[in-house]
Amino acid sequence: MLRMLKKLWCYVRHVSGDDAYEQYLKHHAEFHQATVDAPPALSRKEFFKLWQDSKWKGINRCC
């Protein structure tokens, strides 16, 4: 039962985007650390600012 609840919680976090930073860090470590000139990973604050800006960019309506 506890394992099923954990799986459900992981799914909810994934669907809502709550685990986006963890997924970003995993991707960055896997694909971007191999080169010497790779930029460092963004901080949590920088990541969410960039994520929110890209998500809401282009929305120009009032409601």
Query: Which tens digit of pLDDT belongs to each residue from 2-23?
Result: 899 999 998 898 888 888 999 9
pTM above 0.75, yes or no: no
Which tokens belong to 53?
């800006």
Mean pLDDT of 30-50: 84
Asked if the model's pLDDT at residue 40 lies above 90, the reply is: no
Mean pLDDT of 48-59: 82
| Other CB atoms within 10 A of residue 24 CB | 17
C-alpha to C-alpha distance for 24 and 54, rounded to whole angstroms: 15
